[in-house]
Amino acid sequence: MYKSPCRRLSGLVGASVKQKLLQNVPRCNQSARSLIRLYRGDPSKWLTYQHLNFLKRQYVTKNNSELHQRAIPKQAPLVTIVDEGDDSVERQVQRIPTIAPEQEDLTVSTVDAITRDATLQETSTTVGSTSETPHVQVETEHTKAARLERQWKQLKVEIADLPDIYARLAKIKLTALVVMTAAAGYAMAPVPFDPAIFFVSSLGTGLASCTANSINQYFEVPFDSNMNRTKNRPLVRGQISPLHAVSFALACGVPGVTLLTLAVNPLTGVLGALNIFLYTCCYTPLKRLSITNTWVGAVVGAIPPIMGWTAATGALEPGALLLGAFLYSWQFPHFNALSWNLREDYSRGGYRMMSVTHPGLCKRVALRHSLGLIGLSTLAPALDVTTWTFPVISLPINLYISYLAFRFYRRGDRSSARKLFFCSLWHLPMLLLLALTCKKPRRDQETPALPPAASALALQS
């Protein structure tokens, strides 16, 4: 029976592949057994979740209920033996002066006397050592407590301590600032004030901020432990577990975004969810990669007043963007001045901040955005957000923060950075308060009310 060349070729290929597979079966079994033996021998070398590049976690994991840590043993000090025949080593020899013949007898007698005194003293000490109590250094309770306090230990959590832990996990002061800016955005909107919507929008914004701050601390535990400013955070000290922190974040984030979406309007809910995403998934990893994290963080801080405006109006208007621009520009003199005095801390934590990698740019950006606040204040009446009184009465505080930013730009020392930072703390509330007092009246309030007779004639016509 005749076979085609293709069949012959396929048969030869199949036979060779089958032979290769039969040869590789023992080798595959051997490699599988070696992998199992490697894992049983040293489980710490096995791939775990902390090796993922996205998380970059550095937690100490538990394997078989034992902590596996690697440490380099302390090396014993090496004793260097110098060869006496080596002429390359310079040795300093103390020259002993020669003794005169007439002083030799006196010197020998003096040495004998010193030797006899030392022998008698040693004998008396040996005899009396049986009756004397050896000196033992007793550690006091205060010293022991101080020593134990310096040691690392996992803190036990009580239910009464949870409110304080949750407040530090949510960065309660930063959350209060976020809620204040969102409330200012709601109050600046040209609509009637609704207390229920105002309360719900403020609550939802605060819960979203708690979620973002908690997840941020969850990701940055290994790096926060290297910084003096953040080494006492709850996750770093082990006051709560990472699962507890993530559960708290979900317990705040899901109701917060749901309230903003269903009780306020979908646009505000989308902005709240977007802010959580930008803070946790963009700003947090960028802090260790590029200085663009500062600009992304400024966008995160600019969204809450926009959320307040959209909660009141349900629309994204130029006034909302103007309030967001105020917060965006204000954050650069505020944060750049803060990070200037924390450069050593940020460097130890591995964060790429402008103050660490680009100090000149850090000072220029702070001055540039301080001057930008003056221009934004002038733009507010042009967009019918405030009256023309606002640029005038806000000019002194804007000039003052610009002056401090200029001093920080020229000097670049800790004192000028500290003054600029503390000025920014009261500058923002004052600026928002002045904008609220100069708020443009609504259109329905600008039209004067018609008298009853005129209204009746208008209805008849």
DSSP string, 31-69: HHHHHHHHHHH-GGGS--GGG-TTT---PPPEETTEE--
Say which amino acid occupies 186: Y
What is d(CA 188, CA 206) in angstroms, rounded to the nearest whole number?
Answer: 19
The three-state secondary structure class of 386 is: strand
Given a contact cutoff of 8 angstroms between Cβ atoms, the answer to whether 435 and 390 are in contact is yes
What is d(CA 157, CA 60) in angstroms, rounded to the nearest whole number?
Answer: 20
User: Residue with structure tokens 């690392």?
Assistant: 152
Residue 71 buriedness (CB in 10 A; 0-12 / 13-18 / 19+): exposed
Say which amino acid occupies 62: K
pTM score: 0.64
Mean pLDDT computed over 67-96: 46
Q: What is the pLDDT of residues 102-159, one digit of tens each?
A: 554 544 455 455 555 555 455 444 444 444 444 556 677 777 777 766 655 555 667 7
Given a contact cutoff of 8 angstroms between Cβ atoms, the answer to whether 350 and 230 are in contact is no
Residue 406 buriedness (CB in 10 A; 0-12 / 13-18 / 19+): middle
Q: What is the pLDDT of residues 262-286, one digit of tens each?
A: 999 999 999 999 999 999 999 998 9
Lowest mean pLDDT segment, chosen from 231-235, 265-269, 395-399: 231-235
Say which amino acid occupies 247: S
User: In the chain, which segments carry CATH 1.20.120?
Assistant: 318-444
Please give the pLDDT value at position 140.
Answer: 78
Cα dihedral 370/371/374/378 (nearest 10)? -130
Strand 62-63, strand 66-67: pairing: antiparallel
Please give the pLDDT value at position 347.
Answer: 84
What is d(CA 336, CA 367) in angstroms, rounded to the nearest whole number?
Answer: 10
Say which amino acid occupies 258: T
Mean pLDDT, the chain, integer:
76
Residue 407 buriedness (CB in 10 A; 0-12 / 13-18 / 19+): middle
Say how many C-beta atoms besides its own lie within 10 A of residue 293's C-beta. Answer: 20
Please give the pLDDT value at position 368.
Answer: 94
Phi-psi region of 56 (alpha: psi -120 to 50; beta: other; left: phi over 0): left
User: In the chain, which segments carry CATH 1.10.357.140?
Assistant: 157-316
Residue 292: pLDDT over 50:
yes
Given a contact cutoff of 8 angstroms between Cβ atoms, the answer to whether 208 and 272 are in contact is yes
What is d(CA 307, CA 203) in angstroms, rounded to the nearest whole number?
Answer: 12
Task: Categorize the per-residue pLDDT at 79 as very low, low, confident or very high, splitting at 50, 70 and 90.
Answer: very low
Return the CATH number of the domain spanning residue range 318-444.
1.20.120
Structure letter (DSSP) for residue 385: S
Task: Categorize the per-residue pLDDT at 412 as very low, low, confident or very high, splitting at 50, 70 and 90.
Answer: confident
Structure letter (DSSP) for residue 189: S
Looking at domain 157-316, its CATH class is mainly alpha
Q: Which residues contact 214 (CB under 8 A, 6 or more apart)?
A: 169, 170, 245, 246, 248, 249, 252
Exposed e or buried b per residue across 243-270, where buried means at least 16 C-beta atoms within 10 angstroms of its C-beta: ebbeebbeebbeebbebbbebbbebbbe
What is d(CA 222, CA 242) in angstroms, rounded to the nearest whole number?
Answer: 12
Which is nearest to 35 in space by CA: 19, 23, 46? 46
Q: What is the pLDDT of residues 332-383, one digit of tens each?
A: 999 999 999 888 888 887 888 888 888 899 999 999 999 999 999 999 999 9
Mean pLDDT computed over 195-211: 94
Please give the pLDDT value at position 22.
Answer: 64
Say which amino acid occupies 325: A
How many helical (H) and strand (E) elements, i.e. helices and strands, does the chain have?
A: 21, 2
User: Residue with structure tokens 């939802």?
Assistant: 204
Residue 410: pLDDT over 70:
yes
| Percent of the chain with pLDDT strictly greater than 70 | 63
